[in-house]
Amino acid sequence: MLGITKRFGPVTACDGIDFVLGRGEVHCLLGENGAGKTTLMSILFGLIPPDDGQIIVDGTSVQFGSPRDALNHGIGMVHQHFMLVPEFTVAENVVLGSRPAWTPRFDRAAAEEEVREVARTSGLEVDPRALIRDIPVDVQQRVEILKLLYRGAKVLILDEPTASLGPAGIKSLFEGLATLREQGHSAILITHKLTEVTAVADGVTVLRGGRLQGSFRQGNTDEAELARAMTGGDIAALPVRRAASGGEVVLRVRGLTVKDTVTGRNAVEDLDLEVAAGEIVGIAGVEGNGQRELADALAGVLAPESGTILLDDADITAMPPRARHAAGLGVIPEDRLRWGLVADLTLAENLALSDISRGGLRRRGRLLDLDGMQARAAELLETYGVRPPNPKARASQLSGGNQQKVVIAREMSRQPRLLVAAQPTRGLDVGAIDYVHRQILDMRDRGGAVLLVTNELEELIALSDRIAVMYRGRFVYRAVTADADVDAIAMAMAGISPEDADAQPGAAMEVA
Amino acid sequence: MSGDAPGRGLLTRALSTPDPRALATGVMALLGTIVVVSLMVAALGEDPFAAIRTIIEGSFGDTTAFGQTLMVAVPLALCGAAAAIPFTARLWNVGAEGQMHIGAFAAVAVALTLPALPGPVFIPLILLGAIVAGALWAGLAGVLKTAFGANEVIVTLMLNFVAILIATYAITGIWPQGVAPSTEQVPDSTVLPVVWSGANVSLALPIALAALVAAWVLMSRTGLGLQIRSIGLNPFASLMNGMRVQTVTVATFAIAGTFAGLAGAMEVIGENKALVTNFSANYGYLGIAVALVARLAPAWIFPSAVLFAALQVGSQSLPASTGIPTSFGQIIIAAFVLGLLGARVIRLRYAEGAVQ
Ligand SMILES: Nc1ncnc2c1ncn2[C@@H]1O[C@H](COP(=O)(O)OP(=O)(O)OP(=O)(O)O)[C@@H](O)[C@H]1O
Ligand SMILES: [Mg+2]
């Protein structure tokens, strides 16, 4: 890609960027939120047309009018939000859409065989007959990659592929990429994590504010240099964690059982949990082990089968989100585009949603105080470093990380008693993560209670006062952070109990 | 750089995606319709240009024609609002026809049962009665949907038949006039005064315009309007952010009912001076098309209604000057709506590329 430029109104998302990818290379694309990574890759995948610049594939200049054109040239992209049909099997999802709509009959057996074949040659093991809704996220991601390989993609673009994976999932993804590289495939990985860059990348390209900051080869650079290129400065270390103040219990969960709405299985089983004022309790686990359902039940959007949830001794088990807000609950949902934001509303409107639901932000005469909304939004966007800080922009026009900041700004500004934060830093750049971490610690220090759900071990350990690991709907490991053992946590996440670490991986455990 | 909220079908988005190029699509669809309809006219052995000229002259040609177009645009615009507001929340209200009939029933009931009052008191009372009745009738659909999970398309459609039967009963059973298929005449003091006598335009027009301004204020300047938009765009995030989705659903239906009810009342205390059988030339259903052409934007509802009214009024002169039957107007309207929807679906497909 040469001299790629893309403007969105006044914002220049990409400003004359050159990007080179060699055959059989794993290349990382780094940059802060809003640096232009997704935009650049969407251009390469034919999703959006560039204003200027050329794309050259194997020596010939090409123009992509649609993703189909890109796929015809062997370029495929996996979005951060998977686009799989949960009710279909793996094979159906892989084959779906790659044949003409007028194909008379869908030959299931043949499709499964084909998919098995692609899976085998690429080393990405999946069961073609499994339903998408039954398989964990890291396997779903494999299916997304298989989909592209099935369509003949030689270059795989992965937009923040590790954001939703636990350590084990990341490891298996990287192993898969290594196999594909040996077979002559190339991959472009968008990421915010420097450790991943050192782990897999042959080359690195760093963007900042829509401009190319530099291209590096593995071995010629180090994390510090990359971090400087990304942010234009060094990142300060997190403040030292204070000892938990141990206030009164704010959240008390007893015997909570929550069913997974799709499969009907118990996603959360008979769970007990307490979070005190001035305390951060971190819940870790590989995605799909009930953390999401736990967070949803606390937020009030998923009704539990049984059990009680007390917030400051008030029973909120049957309350809708509205009443929970009033009781002092704040929620940073995991899926920001589904539960957090209304993509087609403006930032000012998104930031005001909760207040407006409760009849706030009115002028006399019941009309909305539009000026007040704008002013408050401008202030929040400024404080939380959202780019661009324009209250009139639609949420859909922001980069992924900046959307996340908007959700955080709204929830934090309500000053909740209890904050349920599910993957709060997913998709954020290093600087923004740091900022959010400080906010969460700050809230704790002011006497708030925080339930942090994360699959980032570093984040878990950096923030939590107490840690619990969730596996198949239960806590299989609990510890005070000071006494916690990282290896034991990682193993518990994979379902291996600390006592019998050499037992069968994946065996269920019954640790209270 | 995000996609849409999950679970939105292409057609749904075609109906409501905000788009700066909307006008261009509308103009294209209109031109396309003119071409197709001209071909059909030519196939009938008539002169298409004469037909077009007839429609334009019959609807805008002189003050009388223009006034007639405006008066037909009044119920169309109000029913357009009755469709557009719930559509914005992704609630498919196809019940404006029934809500309008209930409004008409309430209007005639108030006008015929209250003792004689001066117009400035009586007319507001009648309109108020119709608005309340329309709101209750439409709100019933909302309650059935939220409390029992009934599909609102089916519910509102069925309620149309019930409402029309109720109105018919008023004509044949409660206040029959005798020979004519209508109720007794309402008192003269209740009839809407004419405000532009050259064009025979009554107070109904300014009232409808005021109602549309209210619709615009509601949708863009109030918390309820923002909640309606938010729920339509993403019900999940709306719930998570503390909205009472069910309450807003019922309220949205009720608000839609006020507009349709008002339309019904103004037909009764307009030129008809009574509740007349078939007083609605399918205004309730055409309102849906009006709303779609206006892309659910309150500000565009009146222009859109005028367009439909012009087709309706203009095509009435067709048989006199050409050999084409009046009902050809309906064909033109249908072709236009289909063309518009088609153009939007094609554009959306193109814009999305072949992502899947
Ligand atoms: N459709 C759009 N309309 C307007 N502005 C846009 C649009 N898409 C992206 N932008 C802007 O372009 C810039 C780059 O966005 P992009 O999504 O490429 O960032 P990114 O590097 O992927 O960031 P993140 O790490 O947060 O995902 C941002 O300032 C964003 O607000
Ligand atoms: Mg991005």
pLDDT digits (tens, 9 = 90+) for A482-501: 888 888 888 888 777 655 54
Given this model, what pLDDT does residue A237 score?
58
Cβ count within 10 A of residue A190 = 24
Given this model, what pLDDT does residue A97 score?
66
CA distances from B135 to A371, B130, B231, B249 (A): 32, 8, 20, 13
Given this model, what pLDDT does residue B5 score?
37
pLDDT band at A505 (very low <50, low <70, confident <90, very high): very low
Read off the CATH number of the domain in which B231 is found. Answer: 1.10.3470
pLDDT band at A503 (very low <50, low <70, confident <90, very high): very low
Distance from CA of B135 to the nearest CA of A (A): 21
Measure the CA–CA gap between B53 and B51, rounded to whole angstroms.
5
A10 versus A497: the higher-pLDDT residue is A10
Q: Is the per-residue pLDDT at B81 higher than 60?
A: yes
The DSSP string of A255-310 is EEEEE-TTT-SEEEEEEEEEEETTEEEEEE--TTSSHHHHHHHHHTSS--SEEEEE
User: pLDDT per residue over A404-445, tens digit each?
Assistant: 999 999 999 989 999 999 999 888 888 888 888 988 998 998
Q: Is the per-residue pLDDT at B6 higher than 80?
A: no
Contact A353 B5 (CB under 8 A): no
> pTM of the full predicted structure?
0.85
* Candidates B146, B228, B240, B355, partner chain A, best to mutate (most A CBs within 10 A): B240
DSSP structural state of residue B174: I
Share of chain A above pLDDT 90, in %: 43
Distance A38 CA to ligand 2 centre (A): 4
Give me Rg for the CA atoms of chain B. 21
Cα–Cα nearest to B341, from B297, B305, B295, B303:
B295
Cα–Cα nearest to B135, from B249, B262, B257, B247:
B257
Contact A368 B222 (CB under 8 A): yes
Number of helices (H), then strands (E), belonging to chain A: the values are: 16, 20
Give this complex's ipTM: 0.85
Domains of chain A: 2-231 (3.40.50.300), 251-344+417-503 (3.40.50.300)
Measure the CA–CA gap between A172 and A200, rounded to whole angstroms.
12
Nearest ligand 1 atom to the CA of A387 is 29
User: pLDDT per residue over A270-289, tens digit each?
Assistant: 999 999 999 999 999 887 78
Lowest mean pLDDT among B48-57, B212-221, B318-327: B318-327
B22 versus B5: the higher-pLDDT residue is B22
Contact residues, chain A, for B243 at CB < 8 Å: 322, 353, 357
Token pair, residue B64, equals 């009388």
Q: Is the per-residue pLDDT at A115 higher than 60?
A: yes
Q: Where are the alpha helices (H) located in chain B, listed in sequence order?
A: 10-16, 22-43, 48-60, 63-88, 96-113, 119-148, 152-169, 204-221, 223-233, 235-240, 245-268, 283-293, 298-314, 318-321, 328-352
Q: Is the per-residue pLDDT at A342 higher than 90?
A: yes
Given this model, what pLDDT does residue B283 score?
95
Given this model, what pLDDT does residue B352 score?
44
Token pair, residue B304, equals 């859109």
User: pLDDT per residue over A434-466, tens digit each?
Assistant: 888 988 998 998 889 999 999 888 889 889 999
| Domain extent at residue B38 | 2-355
Q: Is the per-residue pLDDT at B17 higher than 60?
A: no
Contact A368 B221 (CB under 8 A): yes
Measure the CA–CA gap between A451 and A443, rounded to whole angstroms.
12
Helix, coil or strand: residue A453? strand
Contact A322 B230 (CB under 8 A): no
A162 versus A273: the higher-pLDDT residue is A273
Measure the CA–CA gap between B265 and B186, rounded to whole angstroms.
12
- Is-cis flag, bond preceding A104, omega within 30? no
User: pLDDT per residue over B254-277, tens digit each?
Assistant: 999 999 999 999 999 998 999 999
Cβ count within 10 A of residue A314 = 13
Contact residues, chain A, for B218 at CB < 8 Å: none
User: pLDDT per residue over B39-63, tens digit each?
Assistant: 988 888 888 888 889 999 999 999 9
B283 versus A223: the higher-pLDDT residue is B283
Average the pLDDT over A54-69 and give the result.
Answer: 89
